[in-house]
Structure 1
Protein backbone atom coordinates (compact mmCIF):
# COMPACT_ATOMS: atom_id res chain seq x y z
CA UNK A 1 0.00 0.00 0.00
CA UNK A 2 1.23 3.50 -0.82
CA UNK A 3 1.71 6.02 1.97
CA UNK A 4 2.60 9.70 2.07
CA UNK A 5 4.93 10.99 4.77
CA UNK A 6 6.27 14.49 5.32
CA UNK A 7 9.41 15.29 7.26
CA UNK A 8 10.30 18.77 8.43
CA UNK A 9 14.09 18.97 8.32
CA UNK A 10 16.77 21.54 9.05
CA UNK A 11 17.71 23.50 5.95
CA UNK A 12 21.34 22.36 5.95
CA UNK A 13 23.68 20.73 3.41
CA UNK A 14 23.65 16.95 3.48
CA UNK A 15 20.17 16.45 4.95
CA UNK A 16 18.82 14.84 1.77
CA UNK A 17 21.80 12.47 1.71
CA UNK A 18 21.12 11.45 5.32
CA UNK A 19 17.53 10.54 4.51
CA UNK A 20 18.35 8.80 1.22
CA UNK A 21 21.13 6.78 2.87
CA UNK A 22 18.77 5.66 5.63
CA UNK A 23 16.25 4.37 3.08
CA UNK A 24 18.98 2.66 1.06
CA UNK A 25 20.68 1.03 4.06
CA UNK A 26 17.44 -0.53 5.27
CA UNK A 27 16.10 -1.52 1.87
CA UNK A 28 13.07 0.79 1.94
CA UNK A 29 11.75 1.66 -1.52
CA UNK A 30 10.95 5.31 -2.27
CA UNK A 31 8.30 5.95 -4.95
CA UNK A 32 8.97 9.70 -4.93
CA UNK A 33 10.84 12.24 -2.82
CA UNK A 34 10.33 16.00 -3.06
CA UNK A 35 12.21 18.63 -1.07
CA UNK A 36 11.45 22.33 -0.81
CA UNK A 37 11.62 25.25 1.56
CA UNK A 38 8.81 25.99 3.99
CA UNK A 39 7.35 29.23 5.35
CA UNK A 40 10.40 29.29 7.66
CA UNK A 41 13.68 29.58 5.67
CA UNK A 42 15.49 27.62 8.39
CA UNK A 43 13.55 24.46 7.55
CA UNK A 44 12.74 22.39 4.48
CA UNK A 45 9.91 19.97 3.90
CA UNK A 46 10.35 16.51 2.46
CA UNK A 47 7.36 14.73 0.98
CA UNK A 48 8.05 11.02 0.72
CA UNK A 49 5.83 8.46 -1.00
CA UNK A 50 6.58 4.85 -0.08
CA UNK A 51 4.98 1.51 -0.84
CA UNK A 52 4.99 -0.52 2.36
CA UNK A 53 2.92 -2.58 4.75
CA UNK A 54 2.06 -1.25 8.20
CA UNK A 55 5.07 -2.85 9.87
CA UNK A 56 7.52 -1.41 7.35
CA UNK A 57 5.82 1.99 7.47
CA UNK A 58 6.23 2.07 11.24
CA UNK A 59 9.94 1.32 10.82
CA UNK A 60 10.28 4.12 8.26
CA UNK A 61 8.68 6.63 10.63
CA UNK A 62 10.91 5.59 13.53
CA UNK A 63 14.10 5.63 11.49
CA UNK A 64 13.29 9.06 10.06
CA UNK A 65 12.67 10.42 13.55
CA UNK A 66 16.12 9.20 14.64
CA UNK A 67 17.94 11.39 12.12
CA UNK A 68 19.24 14.42 14.03
CA UNK A 69 18.38 16.89 11.25
CA UNK A 70 14.75 15.70 11.11
CA UNK A 71 12.53 17.89 13.29
CA UNK A 72 9.11 16.29 12.72
CA UNK A 73 7.62 13.35 10.82
CA UNK A 74 3.97 13.19 9.78
CA UNK A 75 1.96 10.33 8.30
CA UNK A 76 -1.11 11.27 6.22
CA UNK A 77 -2.72 7.85 6.53
CA UNK A 78 -5.68 9.06 8.61
CA UNK A 79 -5.53 12.79 7.82
CA UNK A 80 -7.63 14.51 5.14
CA UNK A 81 -5.14 16.08 2.75
CA UNK A 82 -4.62 17.61 -0.67
CA UNK A 83 -1.87 16.18 -2.87
CA UNK A 84 -0.45 17.49 -6.13
CA UNK A 85 2.02 16.37 -8.77
CA UNK A 86 3.38 18.60 -11.56
CA UNK A 87 4.30 17.33 -15.01
CA UNK A 88 5.89 18.69 -18.16
CA UNK A 89 5.34 16.50 -21.21
CA UNK A 90 6.62 17.11 -24.74
CA UNK A 91 4.59 15.45 -27.47
CA UNK A 92 5.06 14.94 -31.18
CA UNK A 93 2.48 17.19 -32.81
CA UNK A 94 1.89 17.13 -36.54
CA UNK A 95 -0.27 19.87 -38.01
CA UNK A 96 -3.29 17.56 -38.14
CA UNK A 97 -3.03 16.53 -34.47
CA UNK A 98 -2.15 19.79 -32.70
CA UNK A 99 -5.75 20.84 -32.12
CA UNK A 100 -6.58 17.42 -30.64
CA UNK A 101 -3.69 17.63 -28.17
CA UNK A 102 -4.61 21.19 -27.20
CA UNK A 103 -8.22 20.12 -26.58
CA UNK A 104 -7.09 17.20 -24.42
CA UNK A 105 -4.82 19.50 -22.41
CA UNK A 106 -7.69 21.93 -21.86
CA UNK A 107 -9.98 19.08 -20.79
CA UNK A 108 -7.46 18.16 -18.08
CA UNK A 109 -6.97 21.84 -17.16
CA UNK A 110 -3.44 21.80 -18.49
CA UNK A 111 -1.82 24.44 -20.66
CA UNK A 112 0.54 24.51 -23.61
CA UNK A 113 3.80 26.17 -22.52
CA UNK A 114 5.92 25.63 -25.63
CA UNK A 115 5.25 25.16 -29.33
CA UNK A 116 7.89 23.77 -31.68
CA UNK A 117 7.88 23.00 -35.38
CA UNK A 118 6.78 19.44 -34.70
CA UNK A 119 6.08 19.33 -30.97
CA UNK A 120 3.97 20.73 -28.14
CA UNK A 121 4.89 20.92 -24.47
CA UNK A 122 2.06 20.69 -21.94
CA UNK A 123 2.15 21.62 -18.27
CA UNK A 124 -0.28 19.73 -16.07
CA UNK A 125 -0.79 19.52 -12.32
CA UNK A 126 -3.13 17.50 -10.15
CA UNK A 127 -3.37 14.18 -8.38
CA UNK A 128 -1.18 11.36 -9.65
CA UNK A 129 -4.11 9.46 -11.17
CA UNK A 130 -5.08 12.48 -13.26
CA UNK A 131 -1.58 12.84 -14.68
CA UNK A 132 -1.34 9.11 -15.33
CA UNK A 133 -4.63 9.19 -17.25
CA UNK A 134 -3.45 12.10 -19.41
CA UNK A 135 -0.20 10.32 -20.23
CA UNK A 136 -2.08 7.25 -21.45
CA UNK A 137 -4.44 9.34 -23.57
CA UNK A 138 -1.66 11.21 -25.38
CA UNK A 139 0.75 8.28 -25.67
CA UNK A 140 -0.44 7.42 -29.22
CA UNK A 141 0.71 10.86 -30.41
CA UNK A 142 4.28 10.08 -29.34
CA UNK A 143 5.91 11.17 -26.09
CA UNK A 144 9.32 12.76 -26.66
CA UNK A 145 10.10 13.76 -23.08
CA UNK A 146 8.35 13.57 -19.73
CA UNK A 147 9.31 15.01 -16.35
CA UNK A 148 7.37 14.94 -13.08
CA UNK A 149 8.15 16.63 -9.80
CA UNK A 150 6.71 13.94 -7.55
CA UNK A 151 3.95 14.31 -4.99
CA UNK A 152 3.61 17.14 -2.48
CA UNK A 153 0.89 17.06 0.17
CA UNK A 154 -0.68 19.27 2.82
CA UNK A 155 -3.38 18.55 5.38
CA UNK A 156 -6.74 20.19 4.86
CA UNK A 157 -7.98 22.94 7.15
CA UNK A 158 -10.62 21.91 9.69
CA UNK A 159 -13.28 24.05 8.01
CA UNK A 160 -12.48 22.97 4.43
CA UNK A 161 -12.74 19.19 4.60
CA UNK A 162 -15.88 19.27 2.45
CA UNK A 163 -14.41 21.68 -0.12
CA UNK A 164 -13.28 20.50 -3.53
CA UNK A 165 -9.69 20.58 -4.73
CA UNK A 166 -10.58 23.16 -7.36
CA UNK A 167 -10.79 26.91 -6.97
CA UNK A 168 -13.23 28.35 -4.44
CA UNK A 169 -16.55 29.05 -6.07
CA UNK A 170 -17.37 32.64 -6.90
CA UNK A 171 -20.34 32.78 -4.51
CA UNK A 172 -18.04 31.84 -1.61
CA UNK A 173 -15.76 34.84 -2.07
CA UNK A 174 -16.12 37.93 0.12
CA UNK A 175 -18.79 40.42 -0.96
CA UNK A 176 -16.23 43.06 -1.85
CA UNK A 177 -14.34 40.62 -4.08
CA UNK A 178 -17.52 39.52 -5.86
CA UNK A 179 -18.46 43.15 -6.45
CA UNK A 180 -15.02 43.94 -7.85
CA UNK A 181 -15.22 40.94 -10.16
CA UNK A 182 -18.41 42.33 -11.68
CA UNK A 183 -16.85 45.69 -12.53
CA UNK A 184 -16.13 46.38 -16.22
CA UNK A 185 -12.51 46.03 -17.30
CA UNK A 186 -12.39 49.66 -18.41
CA UNK A 187 -14.36 52.83 -17.98
CA UNK A 188 -16.01 54.35 -14.95
CA UNK A 189 -16.49 52.12 -11.92
CA UNK A 190 -20.09 51.02 -11.39
CA UNK A 191 -21.61 51.30 -7.89
CA UNK A 192 -22.34 48.09 -6.00
CA UNK A 193 -25.84 47.13 -4.88
CA UNK A 194 -24.95 48.03 -1.27
CA UNK A 195 -23.78 51.48 -2.35
CA UNK A 196 -26.97 52.08 -4.31
CA UNK A 197 -29.12 51.12 -1.32
CA UNK A 198 -27.11 53.39 0.97
CA UNK A 199 -27.46 56.42 -1.33
CA UNK A 200 -30.15 58.85 -0.05
CA UNK A 201 -33.04 59.51 -2.46
CA UNK A 202 -33.08 62.69 -4.52
Structure 2
Protein backbone atom coordinates (compact mmCIF):
# COMPACT_ATOMS: atom_id res chain seq x y z
CA UNK A 1 0.00 0.00 0.00
CA UNK A 2 1.30 3.48 -0.91
CA UNK A 3 0.43 6.52 1.17
CA UNK A 4 1.27 10.24 1.02
CA UNK A 5 1.84 12.04 4.31
CA UNK A 6 2.36 15.75 4.91
CA UNK A 7 3.82 16.98 8.19
CA UNK A 8 4.35 20.49 9.51
CA UNK A 9 7.39 20.51 11.76
CA UNK A 10 9.49 22.98 13.68
CA UNK A 11 12.39 24.03 11.48
CA UNK A 12 15.20 22.72 13.68
CA UNK A 13 18.12 20.28 13.40
CA UNK A 14 17.42 16.55 13.60
CA UNK A 15 13.67 16.58 12.92
CA UNK A 16 13.89 15.18 9.40
CA UNK A 17 16.38 12.51 10.43
CA UNK A 18 14.18 11.36 13.31
CA UNK A 19 11.11 11.29 11.10
CA UNK A 20 12.85 9.22 8.39
CA UNK A 21 14.37 6.90 10.98
CA UNK A 22 11.00 6.13 12.53
CA UNK A 23 9.54 5.02 9.21
CA UNK A 24 12.58 2.82 8.62
CA UNK A 25 12.15 1.18 12.03
CA UNK A 26 8.49 0.50 11.30
CA UNK A 27 9.33 -1.36 8.10
CA UNK A 28 7.83 1.22 5.77
CA UNK A 29 9.86 2.18 2.70
CA UNK A 30 10.17 5.90 1.91
CA UNK A 31 9.71 6.23 -1.86
CA UNK A 32 9.99 10.01 -1.87
CA UNK A 33 10.82 12.63 0.74
CA UNK A 34 10.78 16.40 0.22
CA UNK A 35 11.18 19.07 2.87
CA UNK A 36 11.34 22.84 2.85
CA UNK A 37 10.33 26.00 4.64
CA UNK A 38 6.71 27.13 4.56
CA UNK A 39 5.40 30.69 4.52
CA UNK A 40 6.70 30.77 8.11
CA UNK A 41 10.51 30.27 8.17
CA UNK A 42 10.25 28.61 11.58
CA UNK A 43 8.08 25.81 10.13
CA UNK A 44 8.95 23.22 7.47
CA UNK A 45 6.59 21.05 5.45
CA UNK A 46 7.74 17.46 4.97
CA UNK A 47 6.01 15.36 2.31
CA UNK A 48 6.61 11.61 2.34
CA UNK A 49 5.48 9.05 -0.22
CA UNK A 50 5.60 5.75 1.66
CA UNK A 51 5.05 2.12 0.84
CA UNK A 52 4.30 -0.50 3.47
CA UNK A 53 1.51 -2.19 5.31
CA UNK A 54 -1.09 0.02 6.97
CA UNK A 55 -0.24 -1.19 10.47
CA UNK A 56 3.41 -0.12 10.19
CA UNK A 57 2.61 3.23 8.60
CA UNK A 58 -0.13 3.98 11.15
CA UNK A 59 2.21 3.13 14.06
CA UNK A 60 4.95 5.39 12.70
CA UNK A 61 2.44 8.18 12.07
CA UNK A 62 1.14 7.96 15.67
CA UNK A 63 4.70 8.05 17.03
CA UNK A 64 5.55 11.13 14.95
CA UNK A 65 2.34 12.88 15.94
CA UNK A 66 3.52 12.65 19.56
CA UNK A 67 6.87 14.37 18.92
CA UNK A 68 7.30 17.95 20.17
CA UNK A 69 8.81 19.03 16.84
CA UNK A 70 5.79 17.84 14.81
CA UNK A 71 3.07 20.48 14.67
CA UNK A 72 0.62 18.57 12.47
CA UNK A 73 0.61 15.42 10.35
CA UNK A 74 -1.94 14.62 7.63
CA UNK A 75 -2.48 11.48 5.59
CA UNK A 76 -3.16 13.09 2.21
CA UNK A 77 -4.01 9.69 0.73
CA UNK A 78 -7.39 10.03 2.44
CA UNK A 79 -8.00 13.55 1.13
CA UNK A 80 -8.16 15.38 -2.16
CA UNK A 81 -4.71 16.82 -2.85
CA UNK A 82 -2.54 18.21 -5.62
CA UNK A 83 1.04 17.05 -6.08
CA UNK A 84 4.04 17.95 -8.21
CA UNK A 85 7.54 16.70 -8.76
CA UNK A 86 10.49 18.15 -10.66
CA UNK A 87 12.80 16.04 -12.79
CA UNK A 88 15.94 17.00 -14.69
CA UNK A 89 17.07 14.50 -17.33
CA UNK A 90 20.25 14.47 -19.41
CA UNK A 91 19.69 12.43 -22.59
CA UNK A 92 22.14 11.25 -25.22
CA UNK A 93 21.74 13.32 -28.37
CA UNK A 94 22.94 12.83 -31.93
CA UNK A 95 22.20 14.64 -35.20
CA UNK A 96 19.87 11.76 -36.07
CA UNK A 97 17.63 11.96 -33.01
CA UNK A 98 17.55 15.67 -32.13
CA UNK A 99 14.25 16.41 -33.88
CA UNK A 100 12.60 13.33 -32.32
CA UNK A 101 13.76 14.40 -28.86
CA UNK A 102 12.49 17.94 -29.41
CA UNK A 103 9.07 16.56 -30.39
CA UNK A 104 8.94 14.51 -27.18
CA UNK A 105 9.91 17.57 -25.13
CA UNK A 106 7.19 19.60 -26.86
CA UNK A 107 4.49 16.98 -26.20
CA UNK A 108 5.40 16.87 -22.50
CA UNK A 109 6.07 20.64 -22.34
CA UNK A 110 9.55 19.95 -20.97
CA UNK A 111 12.03 22.85 -20.98
CA UNK A 112 15.51 22.50 -22.43
CA UNK A 113 17.91 23.84 -19.81
CA UNK A 114 21.27 22.72 -21.22
CA UNK A 115 22.82 21.39 -24.37
CA UNK A 116 26.18 19.88 -25.18
CA UNK A 117 27.66 18.24 -28.25
CA UNK A 118 26.38 14.79 -27.28
CA UNK A 119 23.61 15.42 -24.73
CA UNK A 120 20.63 17.60 -23.97
CA UNK A 121 19.22 18.37 -20.51
CA UNK A 122 15.55 19.07 -19.87
CA UNK A 123 13.38 19.84 -16.88
CA UNK A 124 9.77 18.97 -16.29
CA UNK A 125 7.41 19.47 -13.39
CA UNK A 126 4.15 17.62 -13.04
CA UNK A 127 2.45 14.75 -11.32
CA UNK A 128 4.18 11.39 -11.01
CA UNK A 129 2.43 9.90 -14.05
CA UNK A 130 3.60 12.74 -16.30
CA UNK A 131 7.18 12.50 -15.02
CA UNK A 132 7.17 8.71 -15.46
CA UNK A 133 5.76 9.11 -18.98
CA UNK A 134 8.57 11.43 -20.06
CA UNK A 135 11.21 9.13 -18.59
CA UNK A 136 9.70 6.10 -20.33
CA UNK A 137 9.82 7.93 -23.67
CA UNK A 138 13.48 8.94 -23.16
CA UNK A 139 14.86 5.55 -22.08
CA UNK A 140 15.35 4.30 -25.68
CA UNK A 141 17.50 7.37 -26.46
CA UNK A 142 19.83 6.77 -23.53
CA UNK A 143 19.41 8.59 -20.23
CA UNK A 144 22.88 9.71 -19.11
CA UNK A 145 21.79 11.06 -15.74
CA UNK A 146 18.64 12.05 -13.95
CA UNK A 147 17.56 13.74 -10.73
CA UNK A 148 14.05 13.76 -9.28
CA UNK A 149 13.04 16.18 -6.53
CA UNK A 150 10.54 13.95 -4.80
CA UNK A 151 6.85 14.70 -4.48
CA UNK A 152 5.54 17.88 -2.91
CA UNK A 153 1.84 18.09 -2.12
CA UNK A 154 -0.90 20.23 -0.58
CA UNK A 155 -4.54 19.57 0.22
CA UNK A 156 -6.94 21.00 -2.33
CA UNK A 157 -9.47 23.65 -1.48
CA UNK A 158 -9.81 25.84 1.57
CA UNK A 159 -8.89 23.25 4.19
Could you say which TM-score interval applies, normalised by the shorter chain? over 0.9
Distance in 2 of aligned mates of 1:142 and 1:27: 34
Superposition deviation, residue 12 in structure 1: 0.6
- 2:85–2:151 CA contact under 8 A, matched in 1: yes
- 2:26–2:57 CA contact under 8 A, matched in 1: no
Q: Which has the larger radius of gyration?
A: 1
Distance in 1 of aligned mates of 2:34 and 2:98: 32
Q: Which runs of structure 2 are paired with 1:38-117 in the superposition (5 Å)?
A: 38-117=38-117
Superposition deviation, residue 6 in structure 1: 0.5
Residues 142/115 of structure 1: CA separation in 2 closer, same or farther (3 Å cut): same
Distance in 1 of aligned mates of 2:34 and 2:150: 6
Match of 2:157 in 1: 157
TM-score w.r.t. length of structure 1: 0.75
Distance in 2 of aligned mates of 1:68 and 1:20: 16
- 2:125–2:131 CA contact under 8 A, matched in 1: yes
Unaligned ranges ≥5, structure 2: none
How many residues are matched?
159
- 1:10–1:44 CA contact under 8 A, matched in 2: yes
TM-score w.r.t. length of structure 2: 0.94
In the TM superposition, what whole-angstrom CA distance separates every residue of 1:35-79 from its partner, at most 9, and x where no partner exists? 011011110000001113332332122021122211110011221
Q: CA RMSD in A?
A: 1.5
Match of 2:119 in 1: 119
Structure showing greater relative contact order (alpha-carbon pairs closer than 8 Å, 6 or more residues apart): 2
Report which of the two has the higher share of strand: 2
Unaligned ranges ≥5, structure 1: 159-202
